[in-house]
Each structure stands twice: as C-alpha cells, then as structure tokens.
C-alpha cells in the first residue's frame, strides 16, 4: 500500500434534535449498536466507546446472515464535547467528525481519509449510509 497523500472524503447530514441528544446517541454504546451499519442486512452487535482524547472505541459490524464481519476501531486524538471527535483508525486513517448547532438542529460533518481498496464513490456511499442510518435512528 503506498503511503502517498490520502484523499479526504466528506459526508454530512442535518439531524433535527438537540446537540446533547445527538452527542449521546453518537457516543453511547447502547445507541451505537442501533445505527452503526450501512444497510438493513447488517447490524452492530457490539460496541464499546471511551469518548475522550486518548480513549479507544470498537464496534463490531456484521452481516445478519453471519457471512461477514469486521471490527471498526481506533483511538481518539481530539475530543471536544458537543463539538468535535477526531480519531485514528487501526489502519492509521484519520477521521474528523464536527457537530455544529444550528437553529433547526445539528449539522454533522464527517471527513475521513480514503482507503485504497474500494473506489472513493463506494466509500462515500458507505459512510453516508451509516450517517443517514444515524439520522433515521435519531429522528425515528
């Protein structure tokens, strides 16, 4: 794998809820297991999350038919409550999640380093699907 300049990809959504509720649903494992997957045939049976600078997280994402699963994990490099989560995944890719309080709710902007296996469009679609799943769970 070349260690060239990684291309950042950004996905965003607007959630109609308070910043406190958005933060809680994004960071608490009891909620993470309900939204941290990209499609209805996947699930997140396990999550642990220590949302502080230096803290670690791990989410198991698996196909409901048990054909495939993987661990999504990393370490937080910068956490500002109700504002920002930055972390490095185990493959050294960096992710930044910004939470902005707006009159109509909370805008979430997620920027992540692209990996080199799948197309950027596929990666964007996958991360956006998870973000939309979060929105659906929050507003459900």
How far apart CA 55 and CA 75 sit, in angstroms, is 6
Do the domain assignments include residue 119? yes
Do the domain assignments include residue 2? no
The sign of the torsion formed by the CA atoms of 13, 119, 113, 55 equals positive
Instruction: Kindly report the pTM of this predicted structure.
Output: 0.93
Do the domain assignments include residue 55? yes
CA-to-CA dists, residue 30 to 23, 26, 48, 78, 100, angstroms: 13, 10, 9, 22, 23
Overall number of domains in the chain: 1
What is the Cα Rg of the chain in Å?
15
- Domain of residue 75, CATH code: 3.30.530.20
Query: For the segment 28-77, what is each residue's pLDDT rounded down to a tens digit?
Result: 999 999 999 999 999 999 999 999 999 999 999 999 999 999 999 999 99
Residue 82 structural domain: 8-139
Do the domain assignments include residue 53? yes
Strands (E), 17-80: 42-49, 56-63, 69-80
């Amino acid at each position: 794998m070349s260690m060239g300049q990684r291309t950042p990809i950004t996905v965003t959504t607007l959630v109609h809820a308070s910043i406190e509720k958005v933060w809680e649903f994004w960071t608490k494992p009891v909620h993470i297991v309900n939204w941290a997957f990209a499609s209805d045939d996947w699930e997140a049976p396990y999550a642990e999350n220590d949302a502080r600078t230096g803290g670690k997280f791990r989410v198991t994402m698996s196909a409901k038919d048990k054909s495939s699963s993987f661990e999504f994990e990393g370490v937080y490099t910068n956490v500002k409550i109700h504002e920002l989560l930055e972390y490095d995944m185990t493959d050294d890719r960096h992710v930044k999640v910004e939470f902005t309080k707006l009159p109509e709710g909370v805008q979430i902007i997620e920027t992540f380093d692209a990996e080199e296996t799948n197309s950027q469009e596929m990666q964007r679609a996958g991360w956006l699907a998870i973000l939309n799943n979060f929105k659906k769970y929050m507003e459900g």
